[in-house]
Amino acid sequence: MAEEHAGVVREKKALTHDIVNLRIQLREPDHMVFRAGQIIRLSSQPYGDKPSVTRTYSIGSLPSDAGFIELNIKRAPDGVCTTWVFDHLQEGQDVRFQGPFGKFMLSASSAPAIMIAGGSGLGPIRAFAMEMREKGMVKTTWCFFGAQTHRDLYYRDDFSRFEKELPDFKFVPALSNEPAESNWQGERGLVTDVVKRSIQDLNGWEAYLCGPPGMIEACLKILQEKGIRDMDVYYDKFA
């Protein structure tokens, strides 16, 4: 059964113009048994005329980071909880949440993997790569990240290190709305289109998807067409 937890925000860091990272120290209790990719239910505090609400967020850190969890949170237009996080929540402030929940986590299989993220969904995918490195896993991995423009990119240094430190790991960011005159040399277009033209046969692969519902649904269709079995697809669909 998931526990009630109290913690304190030790760091609040902007990753992009609309995504922040919260590093939360666990206090009551001072530990939590979880896997990277699982979710917690964070409760906001009342502000203005807004009541407390509860929203789910994915854990983007490892259990070995004892006593802490990290969350990446994307601002949602008129979102009560995300407005609280962005405009009211401060470092040193107490927070309450329940968790962990969910089965979105890295398998122990050595099968090749395709990972596809959008928005704040890159947090759990990054944690999967960290877990692979920590456990010395040898796993062919293609990681695709869909964003609109270069200002929506983050964790680029981390993924460059993963490409150097993990055997057969490839990171492919794709920008769907980057100005044509920019000096961006990477992939352009919807991440689903980039996936479609990058890998032809996914028979025997695993898939890990984390992002908005529209992206997840489009990816599921493409993965099925390319031979992935439904039982080998793991996903976290953000509402």
Confidence of residue 136 (pLDDT cuts 50, 70, 90): very high
Q: Which residue has the tokens 């290190």?
A: 161
Put residue 152 in one of left, alpha, beta given phi > 0 → left and psi -120 to 50 → alpha: alpha
pLDDT at 238: 66
Asked if residue 130 and residue 50 are part of one domain, the reply reads no
Point out the domain boundary residue: 72, 101, 130: 101
Token pair of 220 as six digits: 């599921």
Task: Say if 107 falls within a structural domain.
Answer: no
How many percent of the chain have pLDDT more than 70?
99
- 120 close to 212: Cβ distance less than 8 angstroms: no
Paired with 176 in beta bridges are: none
> How many domains in the chain?
2
Task: Say if 167 falls within a structural domain.
Answer: yes
- 25 close to 8: Cβ distance less than 8 angstroms: yes
Asked if residue 233 and residue 158 are part of one domain, the reply reads yes
Task: Say if 108 falls within a structural domain.
Answer: no
pLDDT at 36: 94
pLDDT at 236: 78
Asked if residue 125 and residue 9 are part of one domain, the reply reads no
Task: Say if 130 falls within a structural domain.
Answer: yes
Point out the domain boundary residue: 53, 74, 101: 101
Residue ranges making up the domain that contains 53: 3-101
Asked if residue 117 and residue 84 are part of one domain, the reply reads no
Asked if residue 138 and residue 80 are part of one domain, the reply reads no
Burial 158-197, CB ≥16 within 10 A → b, else e: ebeebeeebeebebbbbbbebeeeeeeeebeebbbbbbbe
Confidence of residue 28 (pLDDT cuts 50, 70, 90): confident
Task: Say if 179 falls within a structural domain.
Answer: yes
- 61 close to 4: Cβ distance less than 8 angstroms: no
Residue 237 has pLDDT above 90, yes or no: no
* Span 33-58, pLDDT tens digits: 999 999 999 999 999 999 999 999 99
Asked if residue 203 and residue 223 are part of one domain, the reply reads yes
Task: Say if 19 falls within a structural domain.
Answer: yes
pLDDT at 170: 98
Residue 79 has pLDDT above 80, yes or no: yes
pLDDT at 1: 59
Point out the domain boundary residue: 69, 101, 133: 101
Confidence of residue 239 (pLDDT cuts 50, 70, 90): low
Residue 26: CATH number of its domain: 2.40.30.10
Give the residue-averaged pLDDT of 104-116. 96
Give the residue-averaged pLDDT of 16-34. 95
Asked if residue 82 and residue 160 are part of one domain, the reply reads no
